[in-house]
């Protein structure tokens, strides 16, 4: 026996009418504001943001923070490779070697070893940990917002169409 499921959110709006997709409520047609200034006025509606989905915040924050970590990691890698090609890292290794073992004299300093592979492997793992910490902090802030908005009532945002002219 085949049953057809009715669309729980039937399209009763015109194709150009704005529709706000609410996470738990489905498609909701916004209320139109009173048009007091004439025909060319853009439509406006007020929306109250009462809750954030914690799973959505977790997914977005994890992806965003990991991507930002990769951007910073790659930028540092490029800077390191440019400095290494210019010979700056060799000079720094010599200076560090003289600072660490000054008893040999400045002319007989043994240069320190700057291993870029080790440095950037550790930087990658530390960046991943910071991305996880940032994600946990974002989810905690969203949870606090949800708790506070239950008391206060949320944040009201006014949405309006762009004027087509």
Q: How many domains does the chain have?
A: 1
73: helix, strand or coil: helix
pLDDT of residue 42: 76
65 burial type by CB count under 10 A (0-12 exposed, 13-18 middle, 19+ buried):
buried
Residue 136: CB atoms within 10 Å? 13
Residue 106 domain flag? yes
pLDDT of residue 21: 44
Residue 49 domain flag? no
pLDDT of residue 5: 52
pLDDT of residue 85: 92
Residue 104 domain flag? yes
Residue 14 domain flag? no
40 burial type by CB count under 10 A (0-12 exposed, 13-18 middle, 19+ buried):
exposed
Residue 7 domain flag? no
Say which DSSP state 151 is in.
H
Query: Is the pTM for the entire model greater than 0.75?
Result: no
- Chunk the chain into consecutive blocks of 10 residues (it has 165) and report each block's average pLDDT, rounded to whole numbers: 49 48 48 52 84 94 97 96 91 82 65 88 97 97 94 88 70
Domain containing 76 equals 56-152
Helix (H) / strand (E) element for 45: namely strand 44-49
Contact criterion met (CB below 8 Å) for 80 and 89: yes
Residue 39 domain flag? no
């Amino acid at each position: 026996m085949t049953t057809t499921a009715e669309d729980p959110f039937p399209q009763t709006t015109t194709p150009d009418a704005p529709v706000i997709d609410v996470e738990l409520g489905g498609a909701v047609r916004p209320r139109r504001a009173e048009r007091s200034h004439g025909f060319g006025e853009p439509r406006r509606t007020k929306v109250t943001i009462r809750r954030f989905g914690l799973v959505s915040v977790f997914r977005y924050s994890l992806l965003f923070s990991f991507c930002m970590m990769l951007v910073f990691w790659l930028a540092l890698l490029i800077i390191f490779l440019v400095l290494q090609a210019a010979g700056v890292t060799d000079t720094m290794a010599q200076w560090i070697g003289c600072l660490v073992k000054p008893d040999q004299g400045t002319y007989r300093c043994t240069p320190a070893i700057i291993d870029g592979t080790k440095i950037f492997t550790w930087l990658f793992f530390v960046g991943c940990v910071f991305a996880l910490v940032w994600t946990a902090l974002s989810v905690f802030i969203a949870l606090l917002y949800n708790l506070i908005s239950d008391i206060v009532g949320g944040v009201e945002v006014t949405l309006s169409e762009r004027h087509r002219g």
